[in-house]
Homo-oligomer: A and B are copies of this chain.
């Protein structure tokens, strides 16, 4: 079942297109299993962490943030990019504190997934945080967020209206509904 050699695409050449602060872009020419060639457009990203933080009252701590690719603000789990060499858990603790002011007694790993493996290598680590204590938020200099606290029903309503609608937050909502991963609900 794990034998996937016959699907392999060998790199014939690589063209670096762009190197930015968040992503890099390259185009690889690959040799397909049928002997033909194709181009693959590949975005490199250092990976990210998101936190599903649940208060003792069973509310989800989320952030409203303007997303330039969408030209609007959406409500998401607190999240951020991994810094070079940073452990995902350390990043989770840091981002939750920076964006929301919350510190948590317990972080539990919930899931790990590639956001869009067809063109990007971004890997997202998703944690659940409980035992929250509120302090002061410390957003990055170019980061502007509103903190909101939502019941499951409020979060569902925001998903229906389109205000919640990104992969990590949708994973968290389905996980919340499945009730298997933590006691707060």
Q: Kindly report which residue of chain B lies nearest to residue A41, judged by CB atoms.
A: B20
Chain copies in complex: 2
Tally A residues with Cβ within 8 Å of B: 77
Distance, CA A22 to CA B174, complexed state (A): 29
Q: Are B167 and A167 in contact (CB under 8 A)?
A: yes
Q: Which of A60-68, A82-90, A93-101 contacts B (4 or more CB under 8 A)?
A: A60-68
Provide the residues of chain B in CB contact with A121, threshold 8 Å: 69-70
Q: A148 is contacted by which of B1, B30, B43, B120 (Cβ under 8 Å)?
A: B1
A33 sits at the interface (CB 8 A): yes
CB of A125, distance to nearest CB on chain B (Å): 11
Provide the residues of chain B in CB contact with A67, threshold 8 Å: 114, 117-118
Within 8 A of B (CB), among A158-181: 162-163, 165-171, 174-175, 177-180
Q: Are B4 and A66 in contact (CB under 8 A)?
A: yes
Distance, CA A44 to CA B65, complexed state (A): 19
Distance, CA A115 to CA B7, complexed state (A): 25
Report 25 cross-chain contacts, Cβ distance below 8 Å, ordered by A residue: A1-B148, A4-B64, A4-B72, A4-B73, A4-B146, A6-B144, A8-B73, A20-B27, A20-B41, A22-B41, A23-B119, A32-B142, A34-B144, A40-B69, A42-B68, A45-B116, A67-B114, A67-B117, A70-B114, A70-B121, A167-B171, A171-B171, A174-B175, A177-B178, A177-B180
